[in-house]
Amino acid sequence: MEEHSVIENFEMKLNESAKDFLKEAAKWAYFLSILGYIGIGFIVFAALFAGTLFSTMGKMNPAMGMMGSSFGIVMAVVYLLIAALYFFPVYYLNKFASNAKAAFNNNDSETLTTSLRYLKSHYKFIVIMTLVIFSLYLLMFVGMIVGGMAFNNA
């Protein structure tokens, strides 16, 4: 006969306060995801604007040579990559919010589980992105120190 521990047999139930807190969190998450989508739209618009602006400036300045017009394309691609990078956490946050709302409207624990999975994915993406950005800051800081030391020794 197989024995199960108390934890394995425990099924968590949400009381009304916990449900209200999750409903409220879903509303705010939905609002933030809409703002995130608007922000991504602004970044895409900035990519188009910056690409056009830098291409025009490059053509007007002959000192930039061949790099002039292609610099606008590079800037547009960088902005579009940033927009693509920001899309995923906003998407996960939106999916959390919409699934949580549906779970409470339909009293469906499976949909609530799916919504919490999206919330986990959102936070995992944010943590990885934060670690990558901090690593880049550290590399830039070390690069500035090495560059400063090389400049002082020259």
Q: pLDDT per residue over 113-144, tens digit each?
A: 999 999 999 999 999 999 999 999 999 999 99
Whether the Cβ atoms of residue 19 and residue 104 lie closer than 8 Å to each other: yes
Query: Model confidence at 41, in pLDDT bands (50, 70, 90)?
Result: very high
Alpha carbons 79 and 39: distance in angstroms, whole number: 12
Taking the alpha carbons at both ends of the chain, their separation in whole angstroms is: 79
- At 100-117, the pLDDT tens digits run 999 999 999 999 999 999
Q: What is the structure's pLDDT at 50?
A: 84
DSSP designation for 21:
H
Question: What is the total residue count of the chain?
Answer: 154
